[in-house]
Amino acid sequence: MKICVVGTGYVGLVTGTCFADLGNDVICVDIDKEKIEKLQKGICPIYEPGLEELLRRNLKEGRLFFTTDLGHGTENSEVIFIAVGTPPKQNGEADLSFVEDVSRKIAHTMKSYRLIIEKSTVPVQTGEWVKRTISRYNTHKIDFDVASNPEFLREGSAVSDFLKPERIVIGVESERAKKILFELYGPFGRPILVTDIKSAELIKHASNSFLATKISFINAISVICEKVGANVEKVAEGMGMDNRIGQSFLKAGVGFGGFCFPKDLSAFIRISEKIGYDFGLLREVEAINEEQKKNFVKKIESALWVVSGKTIAILGLAFKPNTDDMRFAPSIDIIRQLETEGAKIKAFDPQAMGKAAEILKDVEFCDGPYEAVEGADAMVIMTEWNEFRELDLNKIKNLLNAPIVIDGRNIYDPEKMKKMGFNYFCIGR
Ligand code: UDX
């Protein structure tokens, strides 16, 4: 099939590359000229396991093209995915100006039937707006359909999530659109849920909000565990043994981050407000997440007694492992607060230091975990990269000024740490 993907962010780039790998002819469009030039050369602008290899293979085999010319994409593809950014506005609402702009341009450039599919996470009813906008600028009255096909991939495992999704959701209004989407997704051999457009849009927001709720719930439980001396991991395990609850997304930590949960949550709260529903539950999910970061700073403060003048080694900066994404990473707020209190920060992250350096100007970035820890007054685990689980802890102890470890991701065994002579602090254990 001939496909155009507009927007080469996480979702757009993975979508385009994977569809090409499945044998489709794909044109990826972006307004960022520099990014397109890099992609044309097979340079992946993000760190995502397996993506660059796929990108190069499909470029070489001639199934994947990158351009800044949306008209070229629209003219040469029957199916057009809109995967442009929907960044948060000052008030938390999603900014849909890119979606609107692309819809207008598609209307101007299409010459025969096109299926336009929303892939970005958008507020419910955006499909209607896309349809209205295209109709308005579609001066030649060309036939078209709009559909919603939300993407559920996670950063760090985006390629495999895209190719082996637990479900494929398609929101359609016509048999023609449904047929095309079945043709496209049939080869995946995964369950497909067909629904109307608004329900498809809501499935995405509701899923992300529900997952964020699970994380805030277990983080709140971790606070109670600390107060009474219980173990949040055991509590989560016991809860998760009930199939209705499940084990996943019950890991207490420093709070959720990334470009999806914080942004989608506040967008969903605003949409609900707009249509006359006060989603208090989700406001609390947000508040608990903010509180969790503050609690972590307090934990560091109480471990060190005085923060001012101390050197703190931070291991992990990205909002989760296997990504270099720093957007809304909890490490940003936590490091800024520690710096405000007069701490010097040395940090190491296997992938995110380049992006972190653009945000955290006063941090000393180190070449490895041992270099970060050398001469520091405490080691703080912020992201659970696997390599941090395998550190030589005896060496760490010798390199630190004092054997203090504050583990925001519960990657070490408290008993073992105690036996080794560490002052070890973690979350809810
Ligand atoms: C999320 C959704 O999972 C995905 O379906 C959607 O398409 C985009 O948003 P992503 O942001 O890539 O994906 O990361 P995810 O793995 O979901 O983690 C989000 C945040 O929650 C991270 O900061 C992570 O550390 C945190 N988290 C996750 C926890 O603190 N505890 C958990 O148990 C799980």
Taking CA atoms only, the protein residue closest to ligand 1 atom 5 is: 152
Strands (E), 250-373: 311-315, 344-348, 364-365
Position in ligand 1 atom list of the atom nearest CA 259: 11
Q: What is the CATH number of the domain that holds 37?
A: 3.40.50.720
Q: Comparing C-alpha atoms, which of 171, 170, 173 is closest to residue 190?
A: 170
Specify whether 247 is located in the same domain as 379. yes
Kindly provide the b/e burial profile for residues 16-55, where b requires at least 16 CB atoms within 10 angstroms of the residue's own CB: bbbbbbbebbbbbbbeeeebbeebeebebbbbbeebbebb
The pLDDT, as a whole number, for residue 371 is 98
Q: Tokens at residue 131, please?
A: 């349809």
- Cα(13)–Cα(394) distance, rounded to whole angstroms? 43
Taking CA atoms only, the protein residue closest to ligand 1 atom 26 is: 256
Across all residues in the chain, what is the average pLDDT? Answer: 97
CA angle 320, 324, 328 (to 5 degrees): 60
Contact 116, 144 (CB under 8 A): yes
- Cα(266)–Cα(284) distance, rounded to whole angstroms? 11
Specify whether 250 is located in the same domain as 275. yes
Specify whether 173 is located in the same domain as 101. yes
Whether 153 lines ligand 1, by a CB cut-off of 6 Å, is: yes
Whether 250 lines ligand 1, by a CB cut-off of 6 Å, is: yes
Q: Does any domain span residue 204?
A: no
Q: State pTM to two decimals.
A: 0.95
Specify whether 98 is located in the same domain as 142. yes
Specify whether 264 is located in the same domain as 187. no
- Cα(425)–Cα(414) distance, rounded to whole angstroms? 8
- Cα(100)–Cα(40) distance, rounded to whole angstroms? 26
pLDDT digits (tens, 9 = 90+) for 318-356: 999 999 999 999 999 999 999 999 999 999 999 999 999
Position in ligand 1 atom list of the atom nearest CA 151: 7
Specify whether 117 is located in the same domain as 254. no
Whether 256 lines ligand 1, by a CB cut-off of 6 Å, is: yes
Q: Does any domain span residue 102?
A: yes
**Average pLDDT of the residues in 40-56:** 96
Cα 370 to chain center, whole Å? 28
At 45, is the pLDDT very low, low, confident or very high (cuts 50, 70, 90)?
very high
Q: Does any domain span residue 357?
A: yes
How far, in Å, is the centroid of ligand 1 from the Cα of 275?
27
Q: Comparing C-alpha atoms, which of 334, 340, 346, 330 is closest to residue 298?
A: 334
Taking CA atoms only, the protein residue closest to ligand 1 atom 22 is: 256
Last residue of a domain, one of 170, 195, 220: 195
Whether 260 lines ligand 1, by a CB cut-off of 6 Å, is: yes
Q: Does any domain span residue 346?
A: yes
Residue type, 386: N
In this predicted structure, the answer to whether residue 112 has a pLDDT above a threshold of 90 is yes
Whether 293 lines ligand 1, by a CB cut-off of 6 Å, is: no
The pLDDT, as a whole number, for residue 234 is 98
Position in ligand 1 atom list of the atom nearest CA 264: 9
Position in ligand 1 atom list of the atom nearest CA 254: 30
The residues annotated as belonging to the active site are: 260
pLDDT digits (tens, 9 = 90+) for 262-273: 999 999 999 999
Q: Comparing C-alpha atoms, which of 317, 293, 288, 297 is closest to residue 218?
A: 288
Taking CA atoms only, the protein residue closest to ligand 1 atom 14 is: 154
| Range(s) of the domain holding residue 93 | 2-195
How far, in Å, is the centroid of ligand 1 from the Cα of 158?
12
Q: Does any domain span residue 94?
A: yes
The residue whose CB lies within 8 Å of the most ligand 1 atoms, and thus the one to mutate among 161, 320, 322, 407, is 320
Residue with tokens 């055991």: 234
At 92, is the pLDDT very low, low, confident or very high (cuts 50, 70, 90)?
confident
Position in ligand 1 atom list of the atom nearest CA 158: 12
pLDDT digits (tens, 9 = 90+) for 163-172: 999 999 999 9
In this predicted structure, the answer to whether residue 139 has a pLDDT above a threshold of 90 is no
Position in ligand 1 atom list of the atom nearest CA 251: 33
Contact 62, 40 (CB under 8 A): no
Residue with tokens 């659109």: 177
- Cα(145)–Cα(100) distance, rounded to whole angstroms? 16
Specify whether 106 is located in the same domain as 239. no
Q: Comparing C-alpha atoms, which of 53, 63, 67, 92 is closest to residue 1?
A: 63
Last residue of a domain, one of 171, 195, 219: 195
Q: Does any domain span residue 202?
A: no
Whether 253 lines ligand 1, by a CB cut-off of 6 Å, is: yes
Whether 249 lines ligand 1, by a CB cut-off of 6 Å, is: yes
The pLDDT, as a whole number, for residue 217 is 98
Position in ligand 1 atom list of the atom nearest CA 10: 12
What CA–CA distances, in Å, run from 190 to 36, 46, 126, 183, 325?
31, 27, 26, 13, 28
The pLDDT, as a whole number, for residue 387 is 98
Specify whether 224 is located in the same domain as 190. no
Share of the chain above pLDDT 90, in %: 97
Domains of the chain: total: 2
Specify whether 271 is located in the same domain as 149. no
How far, in Å, is the centroid of ligand 1 from the Cα of 285?
14
Specify whether 124 is located in the same domain as 243. no
The residue whose CB lies within 8 Å of the most ligand 1 atoms, and thus the one to mutate among 151, 261, 407, is 261
Taking CA atoms only, the protein residue closest to ligand 1 atom 17 is: 154
The pLDDT, as a whole number, for residue 378 is 98
3-state secondary structure of 408: coil
Taking CA atoms only, the protein residue closest to ligand 1 atom 13 is: 154
Q: Tokens at residue 137, please?
A: 């600028």
Q: Tokens at residue 163, please?
A: 């190719």
Specify whether 159 is located in the same domain as 247. no
How far, in Å, is the centroid of ligand 1 from the Cα of 260?
8
Contact 145, 116 (CB under 8 A): yes
How far, in Å, is the centroid of ligand 1 from the Cα of 242?
21
Burial of residue 102 (CB within 10 Å: 0-12, 13-18, 19+) is: buried
In this predicted structure, the answer to whether residue 184 has a pLDDT above a threshold of 90 is yes
Specify whether 330 is located in the same domain as 418. yes
In this predicted structure, the answer to whether residue 286 has a pLDDT above a threshold of 90 is yes
Whether 328 lines ligand 1, by a CB cut-off of 6 Å, is: no
Q: Tokens at residue 24, please?
A: 């489709």
The residue whose CB lies within 8 Å of the most ligand 1 atoms, and thus the one to mutate among 217, 249, 256, is 256
- Cα(31)–Cα(54) distance, rounded to whole angstroms? 22
For residue 229, the cross-strand partners are: none
At 225, is the pLDDT very low, low, confident or very high (cuts 50, 70, 90)?
very high
Last residue of a domain, one of 195, 230, 259: 195
The pLDDT, as a whole number, for residue 85 is 92
